[in-house]
Structure formats: structure tokens, C-alpha cells
Amino acid sequence: AELAVAESHPRATVFDPLPALCTDVCPSAVEGTVLYQDATHLSVDGSLRLSPSLRHSLLEVLDVSTASR
């Protein structure tokens, strides 16, 4: 559903968190760190795990040069 909406808005971008959270499976914890506070919400640590990939995506969308990173 999100992709269909994004396709109808040329400047929209969709961020997929799954590559940062999952491999072949989506574990509830990684190396003792709990990623979810319940079935559908990330914990603070789970959110922080997304930080690098979300930052990268935002910088690409904002077209920020590597010099200002």
C-alpha cells in the first residue's frame, strides 16, 4: 500500500526498515538487545538500530553532499 501511494507522488520516498532489522528471519532480539517493545512497535534499542540506515536514506533524499556529513 505504501509503495502505491509513493508511486503516485513523484517526490515521495519509502524507507524500508527490514534490511536493518532482519536477515533470513526477523529476530525479537539481537546479541541480547531487545528490538521490539510489543508485536508491532520497536523498542528504543530497536529504533537506534535503524539510525544508520535511516540517516543514510534521509541524506540521499535531501541530497546532502558527503562534505557536510
Each residue of 1-52: pLDDT tens digit?
788 888 888 888 889 999 999 989 999 999 999 999 999 999 999 999 999 9
Residues 59 and 35: their CA atoms lie apart, in Å, by 24
Tally of CB atoms within 10 A around 35: 19
Residue 65 is predicted with a pLDDT of: 60
Report which of residues 2 and 60 the model is more confident about: 60
